[in-house]
Amino acid sequence: MGDTAGTLAGIDIVIVLMYMVGVFALGTFFGKYVKNAGDFFVASRALPFWAIGMSIVVSDIGAMDFVAVAGGAYTDGIAVANFDWIGSMPAMVFAAFVFVPYFWRAGVYTIPEFLGRRYNMAVRVIHGGIWGVFLLTMLSLMLWVTGDQLSNTILGWNPYVVIWLMVAITGIYTFSGGLSAVVMVDVVQLIIMFVGGIALLALSMWEVGGPAEMQRKVAELEPRIMVELDVGDERLIEENAVAGALTGAGFEVLKTERVHEPTGEPTNRFFARVTSVELPQVLRQVQVDLDDKGKRMPKNEARRMALIRPEAKRVVTAALAPLCSGPEHVEVTELTTYGGHFKILLPHDTDKPYPWTGIVFGLGIVLAIAYMSGNQAVVQRTLGARSEWDAKGGMLFGGFLKSFIPLMVAVPGLCALVVAPDLHDAERAVPHMIATLLPPGLRGLMFVALFAALMSSVDSTLNSSSTIWTNDLYGRLVEAITGRPMSERHGLVMGRAFTMVFIILAGIMAPAVGKAETLYVFVQTALTIFQGPTLAILLLGIVWRRATRWGGLAGLVLGVCFTSVLNCVDGLFPSDDPFLFIAWWSFVFSSLVTIVVSLMTQREPDEKIRGLVWGQVMKDGEIQRVLQERVS
């Protein structure tokens, strides 16, 4: 049970139960309208713009963001809000006017299907396979966030029970109603999420005394060291004994916590957050030692800390090693200072994951556009729009709603730094605030808001993954074997079958996948492997008619290989988590490969790329007629 675990009052339980029943009833209601694959995958192309925009936002901003973005703000500061301010809104405007019209006019079910038309079947299958595996992994991760980091932390509930409850509810209504059910449930869930998020923001700011007082209190925090100890001495198993041993080693113990298994069983591992009056002296002594070695300390704080941190960790490890029978049982996981917590753009040489160069180039230009334009879970809503105007309007409306998200998810994380500065796990910041600040009734509402955020992400990811696996992988296998496309009825049956298989498989995989140390960085790192190459071939395929099938295939395959190598090589970039830099260079590399290979191979015939290239669509009257026929 987490340290913030509490219990729900009677009113809270009623709110949670009413939500669960309501969502289940609303989702399954739309099952009666699903008669074929088009109904299931793209909602009969009848979605209005307001439902599309609301569904995009609540699908993208789920409970993982409440947990992980708040955790990022807790450890690294307000710079994490750029993932919405810089990383979403401009990209959604770009997607609305450049990519979305093409996807909608083409009448496709998936992004891989569009790429298959523009390039070849190999590109479609490879891209579909990558996204299919990624979405399944994300599904497992989302379930674990609900079971462990929300339910277990706040209520002490068994995470496995909660996971399988989520599997049952989301699986059944997604199986029944497809995209229609997902979108209409998302509309309700967005309203709940905004009400709960704004309530948490208001109470958090009230607790810390307002923005100015919060900033002052954070600036006054002393540097912290987080250590993980694997204690072998039975005499030190009790937490007070561990605290005493740390005090004897010269540290002021701010917090210790014994690590428990998900089932509640205690382990021999402890997390401890420590500081000391000597800690600033330790940091200064490290500076002196480095100066003696000829490494002059730069004036820039980021550069200075980048040199100090490894040496300071070594000093702390040596001091604590006797407690654990050797340094191999001591891990210094953090050395935290708070000087840059309120800087929107951090220096290029910062040791945090969000330098301004990575934010602008890697996030703003590559990851954000690739995510909003090439992520099946986002774009699928626009594919179900009732008109091109609704497709574009839905994306723009979603961008407007997105502007409020950082206030609801990042600021409570900063407030938690004042209320509880020594949590061993930053991603428990928001659960802690819910458990300690919100009164009965409001706690239940916020708990429902987190459930709503999580379930919207789960149902969207589930629906999108089943769409890709049915149409781009299984459908292509059927076509290769039988020589004819899969029927609409066959597609509906397999779409529902994949839906049930994936939600059950995700529930089984959730505990293993959920053990990633930092959820948000894990997700972003995984995205960098293929988002840069995807954006390169998507953008070149639309704006450059000379791009060929072999160029697109080479850009995708070699780009993914190049990105995987960059992720495995340490020291190439200034950040410890260089996913933003990797995203930028993978995009550049894949673009160059696509251009070079395309120029070396035979030009695509006009008939093949008709209606898929920007210049043709805008200037060719015949193309406009063909597109109108496709829409009809």
Mean pLDDT, residues 117-131 taken together = 88
Res 103 pLDDT > 80: yes
Asked whether 389 and 109 are in contact (CB, 8 A), the reply is no
Q: What is the pLDDT of residues 56-67, one digit of tens each?
A: 888 777 656 677
Give the span between the Cα atoms of 159 and 165, in whole angstroms. Answer: 10
Between CA 183 and CA 194, with CA 188 as vertex, the angle to 5 degrees is: 115
| Residue 269 backbone dihedrals phi, psi, to 5 degrees | -100, 145
Res 114 pLDDT > 90: no
Asked whether 553 and 536 are in contact (CB, 8 A), the reply is no
* 186: CB partners within 8 A, 6+ apart: 51, 54, 55, 58, 59, 456, 459, 460
Residue type, 511: P
Give the span between the Cα atoms of 39 and 128, in whole angstroms. Answer: 21
Q: Would you place residue 601 in the very low, low, confident or very high pLDDT band (cuts 50, 70, 90)?
A: very high
Mean pLDDT is lowest, of 139-143, 177-181, 267-271, 359-363, for 267-271
Res 235 pLDDT > 60: no
Name which of 262, 198, 197 is nearest 63 in CA terms: 197
Mean pLDDT is lowest, of 109-123, 194-208, 322-336, for 322-336
Q: Which two tokens stand for residue 399?
A: 């961008």
Q: What is the pLDDT of residues 183-199, one digit of tens each?
A: 888 888 888 888 888 88
Give the span between the Cα atoms of 193 and 58, in whole angstroms. Answer: 8
Total residues belonging to the chain: 632
Res 295 pLDDT > 60: no
Most confident stretch, 126-140, 145-159, 279-293: 126-140
Q: Would you place residue 515 in the very low, low, confident or very high pLDDT band (cuts 50, 70, 90)?
A: low
- The alpha helices in 252-367, defined as continuous H runs, are 279-292, 301-320, 356-357
Q: Supply the pLDDT for residue 4.
A: 38
Q: Higher-confidence residue: 297 or 456?
A: 456
Q: Supply the pLDDT for residue 280.
A: 53
Q: Higher-confidence residue: 594 or 280?
A: 594
% pLDDT > 70, the chain = 70
Q: Supply the pLDDT for residue 2.
A: 39
Asked whether 555 and 533 are in contact (CB, 8 A), the reply is yes
Q: Supply the pLDDT for residue 331.
A: 66
Most confident stretch, 232-241, 322-331, 425-434, 475-484: 475-484
Q: How far apart are the first and last CA of the chain?
A: 57
The secondary structure of the chain in percent helix, strand, coil, rounded to multiples of 5, reads 75, 5, 20
Asked whether 365 and 584 are in contact (CB, 8 A), the reply is yes
The second-level CATH assignment, the architecture, of 10-209+347-515 is Up-down Bundle (1.20)
Q: Would you place residue 6 in the very low, low, confident or very high pLDDT band (cuts 50, 70, 90)?
A: very low
Give the span between the Cα atoms of 613 and 547, in whole angstroms. Answer: 10
Q: What is the pLDDT of residues 329-375, one digit of tens each?
A: 666 666 666 666 777 776 666 656 677 777 777 777 887 888 888 88
Q: Supply the pLDDT for residue 615.
A: 61
Mapped onto helix, strand or coil, the DSSP state of residue 386 is: coil
CATH 3.30.70 residue window(s) in the chain: 222-336
* 221: CB partners within 8 A, 6+ apart: 338, 417, 421
Name which of 140, 63, 91, 223 is nearest 462 in CA terms: 140
**Helices and strands: H and E segment counts in the chain:** 31, 4
Name which of 600, 510, 590 is nearest 557 in CA terms: 590
Res 277 pLDDT > 50: no
**Cross-strand partners of 258:** 270
Q: Higher-confidence residue: 519 or 139?
A: 139
Q: Supply the pLDDT for residue 16.
A: 78
Give the span between the Cα atoms of 408 and 62, in whole angstroms. Answer: 12
Residue 423 to residues 3, 4, 418, Cα–Cα distance (Å): 9, 10, 11
Res 211 pLDDT > 80: yes
Q: Would you place residue 168 in the very low, low, confident or very high pLDDT band (cuts 50, 70, 90)?
A: confident
CATH entry 3.30.70 includes domain 222-336: yes
Give the span between the Cα atoms of 145 and 50, in whole angstroms. Answer: 28
**Cross-strand partners of 226:** 273, 334
Q: What is the pLDDT of residues 363-416, one digit of tens each?
A: 778 878 888 888 888 888 888 888 889 999 999 998 888 888 888 888 888 888
Q: Which two tokens stand for residue 513?
A: 């996948």
Q: What is the pLDDT of residues 521-541, one digit of tens each?
A: 566 666 677 888 988 999 998
Asked whether 427 and 149 are in contact (CB, 8 A), the reply is yes
Average pLDDT, the chain: 76
Q: Supply the pLDDT for residue 274.
A: 65
Asked whether 69 and 387 are in contact (CB, 8 A), the reply is no
Q: Supply the pLDDT for residue 3.
A: 40
Where b means 16+ CB within 10 Å and e means fewer, 63-86 reads: bbbbbbbbbbbbbbbbbbbbbbbb
CATH 1.20.1730.10 residue window(s) in the chain: 10-209+347-515
Q: Higher-confidence residue: 36 or 145?
A: 36
Mapped onto helix, strand or coil, the DSSP state of residue 421 is: coil
Where b means 16+ CB within 10 Å and e means fewer, 508-537 reads: ebbbebbebebbbbbbbbbbbbbbbbbbbb
Q: Higher-confidence residue: 329 or 123?
A: 123
Where b means 16+ CB within 10 Å and e means fewer, 2-13 reads: bebbbebeeebe
User: Which DSSP letter does residue 158 get?
Assistant: -
Q: Supply the pLDDT for residue 395.
A: 92
Asked whether 292 and 311 are in contact (CB, 8 A), the reply is no
Mean pLDDT, residues 313-338 taken together = 64
Mean pLDDT is lowest, of 86-100, 278-292, 328-342, 578-592, for 278-292
